Structure 1
Amino acid sequence: MQDGARVLVTGAGGFVGRRLVIALSDDPKVGAILALGGVATTAPKVETGVADVTSNELEAAIRTFRPSHIVHLAAKSSVAASLRDGRGVMDVSVGGALRIADGVSMHAPNARILFASSAEVYGAAFSSGVELDETSPVAPANPYARSKLVAEFLLMDRVHSDASVIVMRPLNHIGPGQDARFVVPAFAQQLAEIERGLRAPEIRVGNLDAQRDFMSVDDVVDAYLRALFLKTVEPGSRDVFNVASGSVRSIQSVLNDLLSLSAVACSVVVDTDRFRPNDIAITRLSSAKLKVATGWSAKAEWTALLTSVLDDQRSRLGS
């Protein structure tokens, strides 16, 4: 890794991307950033732009910017949405990976690519109940997960042989600014609206028995940066890292913890429309490989993290 890295980020305006661009702009190893995806920033290192990842616009951006590093975040990230639009999710994931691979091969053959995949690719393998690692079988159980796995294979197989590919497979990550389509901000949004008297005192929920590993989005960004600038990555290498805190919680306990942060009394209503088909009972994932390679660990304190999510939803309602 040499100073003055030129980093191209797709999906820079998204939940993870906004934070990643800020972290990159503060990193002395980074000389220039091309942030694609609608992020707003005045950081001096950052050039912003918009590119359709399924078109030649992405290849053109790579040709012009000549990145040394690429972080590919752009995706349709909701599992629930993918069940309604499997084709659209696949088009973005596979189309974006194809444009990244071809653009790198033609214009930046020595680049290092970090692809934000998902632990969803393990899918049905989680049903074993044991903690999975990077050697565990993949068995994606929904269109979103399948699209991510196809993109992983496409990048590894198609990108130039001198380019390195790092695939990150994170579990659930939360924080201020996350879309309320996801379970924790969905609970927090309803609770904030109840506090303000904007809805009846009841929270609508899906499967509360499911057990998940929730991390701070800031911890996930830290993992991505550590892997992106890992000194031991060799040209032409292909590697995979899981990202998980190691703490598994039931959705019921997450809801209880959120309710404890508010003074309102409300009932809980089970809404079958919020259930996923083929829902996984529990997700256990090992990040031992990432920790050994980079020293990473999840650091966010749980109550403070939940409070930040609830306060974010409160602030969205205004005064």
Structure 2
Amino acid sequence: MTTRVLITGVNGFVGTHMCNYLLNKNIQVLGTGRSDSCKIKHKNLQYVKCDLLDSSSVKLLVEMNSFESIIHAAGENNASQSWNDPQMTVKTNAIGTLHLLDALRKKPKAHLKNIVVVSSSHEYGKMETTDKISETFLTVPASPYGWSKYLQTSIAEMYAKSYGFPIVIARTFNLIGPGSQGVCAQFARQVAQIENGLQSPLLMVGNTTVSRDFLDVRDAVEAYWKLLNMHLPAPGEVFNICRGTSYQISEIANKFHKISQTPFAVMVDPKLYSNNEPLTITGNNEKLCNMIDWIPKIELEVSIRDMLLEWRSLTNASRKAGEKN
């Protein structure tokens, strides 16, 4: 059993959930991030500030600390914003990964059990297919973010196949849950504001006809943990992390409508449409489920409820703070 895990990007959406998951298992965690401090405070968590774009800082992190396994979750993850700053997106996701893996290559006696690199289904790009996307599908990225994750995966595969690093690529589809920033979280924020009278009763949405494979982040981190502890079939193996079922955005809006405390109408705003957006994305998780004892457990309705509860709490706190001022 792994006893100390390095989590890069521990303050991020995935990193926070991954850290809490491991701490609940009484696993020692070494967390890194660009912030001065960690959001999580725990006796089994050591935090080290480290910018993966600073190769000397990464080298020092690796040289001065011991760990058996790595969850590499650091990086830029906003596909829409990547169009505005492709250089930073590529540097953070690709060069940051290069710095980490090369520092490990240069460390004497660095005996690692497994390294899980959290990548993205955006590597598949604009895949116009009604079939479930498996790991054998071509990767043809359609955004700067997709290309950055494709480069990240390529770098990880190089170190796996050229240097024998025990790397697993976790090609992750749309993650939702508390702390997320995607379309479902945007809906939750709007509904909470509508309930508090801070927004007119109109849920502003983009293209409601697209379908996405939404998986709760708490299911995803369990999959990462099991990948971290499995016997690798081959270094650099890729696994889809997904539910295996897709939902139209209109369905998501309807689910929020059912649990909202205030009725609202849905209004489509073309400005919210994304560039090069495929109509349907559904992942195939058969390879993952056949390799490890894992299935998605958290229903979509539970994820939506928990996101709305979080945004209700944040909105109420913000409103009360405003009233005091």
* TM-score after normalising by structure 1: 0.92
Aligned residue for 1:117, secondary structure, equals: strand
1:276 is displaced (CA, Å) by: 0.8
Aligned AA for 1:122? Y
**Residue in 1 that maps onto 2:32:** 36
Aligned to 2:5: 7
Q: Which runs of 4+ in 1 moved over 6 A?
A: none
1:84 Cα offset (Å):
1.1
CA contact (8 A) 1:71 1:114 kept: yes
* SS of equivalent residue, structure 2 residue 4: strand
Give the deviation of 1:4 after TM superposition: 5.3
The alignment partner of 1:40 has SS state of coil
* Whole-angstrom CA distance in 2 between matches of 1:166 and 1:145: 18
Partner of residue 117 from structure 2, selected from 115, 118, 133: 115
Q: CA deviation at 1:246?
A: 1.5
1:125-140 aligned within 5 A: 126-140=127-141
Q: Deviations over 1:22-53 (max 9, x none)?
A: 2222335x4x3210124333322210121111
What SS class does the counterpart of residue 74 from structure 1 fall into? Answer: coil
Identify the residue that residue 81 of structure 1 maps to in structure 2. 81
| Corresponding residue for residue 273 of structure 1 | 271
Per-residue deviation, 1:109: 4.2
Residues of 2 paired with 1:297 and 1:315: CA distance?
A: 30
Query: How far apart in 2 are the matches of 1:178 and 1:237?
Result: 30
Contact 1:83 1:143 in 2 (8 A): yes
* Structure 1 portions without partners, runs of 5+: none
**Identity, % of aligned positions:** 26
For 1:233 and 1:222, locate their aligned partners in 2 and report how far apart those are by CA, in whole Å.
17
- Where 1:22 maps in the other structure, the secondary structure is helix
1:157 equivalent in structure 2 = 158
The Cα shift of 1:170 comes to 1.2
Q: Secondary structure at the match of 2:220?
A: helix
Aligned pairs, number: 310
What is the alpha-carbon distance in structure 2 between the residues aligned to residue 219 and residue 4 of structure 1? 19
Name the stretch that deviates more: 267-276 or 185-194: 267-276
1:61-80 → structure 2 map (5 Å cutoff): 61-80=61-80
Between the aligned partners of 1:4 and 1:158, the Cα distance in structure 2 is 22
SS class of match (2:155): helix
Residue aligned with 2:47, SS: strand
Please give the secondary structure, in 2, of the residue aligned with 1:79: coil
SS at match of 2:262: coil
CA offset at residue 301 of structure 1? 2.0
Equivalent of 2:176 in 170, 174, 184: 174
Tell whether 2:47 aligns with 1:48: yes
Shift in Å, 1:201: 1.6
191-200 or 108-117, which deviates more = 108-117
Q: Alignment partner of 1:41: what SS? A: coil
Change (3 A) 1:26 1:191: closer
Residues in 2 aligned to 1:89 and 1:119: alpha-carbon distance in whole angstroms: 16
Output the CA distance in 2 between the equivalents of 1:190 and 1:248. 23
For residues 300 and 85 of structure 1, the distance between their equivalents in structure 2, rounded to whole angstroms, comes to: 34
Distance 1:155 1:131, change over 3 A: same
Look up the match of 2:257: 259
> SS where residue 167 of structure 2 aligns?
strand
CA distance in 1, matches of 2:188, 2:106: 46
The match for 2:304 is: 306
Alignment-derived partner of residue 91 in structure 2: 91
1:194-213 aligned at under 5 Å gives the runs 194-213=194-213
User: Offset at 1:162?
Assistant: 3.5
- How well do the aligned residues superpose, as a CA RMSD in angstroms? 1.6
* Superimposed CA distance per residue, residues 224-263 of structure 1 (whole angstroms, 9 cap, x where no aligned partner): 0010111x226x7221100111121100010011011113
Give the 3 Å change call, closer, same or farther, for CA 64–164 of structure 1 in structure 2: same
* Larger displacement relative to structure 2 (18-27 or 250-259): 18-27
